[in-house]
Homo-oligomer: A and B are copies of this chain.
């Protein structure tokens, strides 16, 4: 990687670019959840963001920084679906051709979200093909720019605008968060949030949440070396299935993360169900991972002020029905 690490000023600049494009998502409170957990909880509802996840932030920031000639050559991205939709939506708005490399087993709702926005899908087999190789070949053919889903300074800075909004909203209400919990896939969102927290709320501890079998950050932090997951699929948290921490994201996150809660598929489904019953929000399992870490006690919120980032709501109805019965 030759990219420099992004800094907080990049997050501020991204916020200016996103101003009339991204939804300023609400920081919700829910008295029933507070009573149940015995703490004060704020929910950053990124499931209410354009395309149903925070991913639009990073994608739009990255695409809006491309030169005119780069825009004409188009963009390529690989993603299980949420970054895919973010890139497709940003490309649609900016009039850029987009090709998305997506696993064949990506949720139908995410494939549909890409196609509806006018982007093209190149499907691949998660077990036997390399999405990186496919994407690089597409870029080599057409001269298109590859838009990484997390390991790029513009993507990290874009995702960080979510953290900027969180801490500015709390500050306006004179509230200090003791801690923040956010899911970790490649670590782009939590890296951007770390930059915002360091600048605006340095005493807030930042916790991650990862699915079982994809706890590469948890194990990397524990061992001191970046590790690679052996599993490639099979978790319901399809949004969080990366092989290993990103280079840029890990360089930002490693010294700043307090800890990582590792959650099971069942815990993710139970968090989705609580979203339905108590929060009245539609969450996908990966988007509910931070909530699951809190509900299962992996991050303790008792008598504390905690921000939980709800990162996405793009869930197939079959999985959602499964969660309602969990």
Contact = CB atoms under 8 A, between A and B. Distances in A.
Interface of A: 23, 26, 28-32, 47-48, 50, 52, 109, 275-277, 279-283, 313, 317, 320-321, 324-325
Across the A-B interface, give the 3 residue pairs with the lowest CB-CB distance, nearest first. Answer: A280-B313, A26-B26, A280-B282
B313 A317 contact: no
Contacts of A50: 31-32
A17 to B, nearest CB: 16
Nearest to A92: B35
17 contacts: A23-B28, A26-B26, A28-B48, A31-B50, A32-B50, A48-B280, A109-B277, A275-B282, A276-B282, A276-B317, A279-B282, A280-B283, A280-B313, A281-B281, A281-B282, A317-B325, A321-B324
Contacts of A275: 282
Contacts of A321: 321, 324
A300 to B, nearest CB: 24
A94 to B, nearest CB: 14
How many copies of this chain are found per oligomer? 2
Nearest to A287: B280
Tell me if A's interface is mostly helix, strand, loop or mixed: helix
A140 to B, nearest CB: 34
A128 to B, nearest CB: 32
A142 to B, nearest CB: 28
Given A31-B23, A321-B321, A280 B277 contact: no
A207 to B, nearest CB: 24
Contacts of A324: 317, 320-321
Contacts of A28: 23, 26, 48
A50 B48 CA distance: 19
Nearest to A321: B321
A171 to B, nearest CB: 17
Nearest to A313: B280
Nearest to A310: B280
Contacts of A280: 47-48, 52, 281-283, 313
A27 to B, nearest CB: 9
A274 to B, nearest CB: 11
Contacts of A47: 280
Contacts of A32: 50
Nearest to A284: B280
A8 to B, nearest CB: 26
A23 B280 CA distance: 14
Nearest to A314: B280
A50 B34 CA distance: 11
A140 B277 CA distance: 36
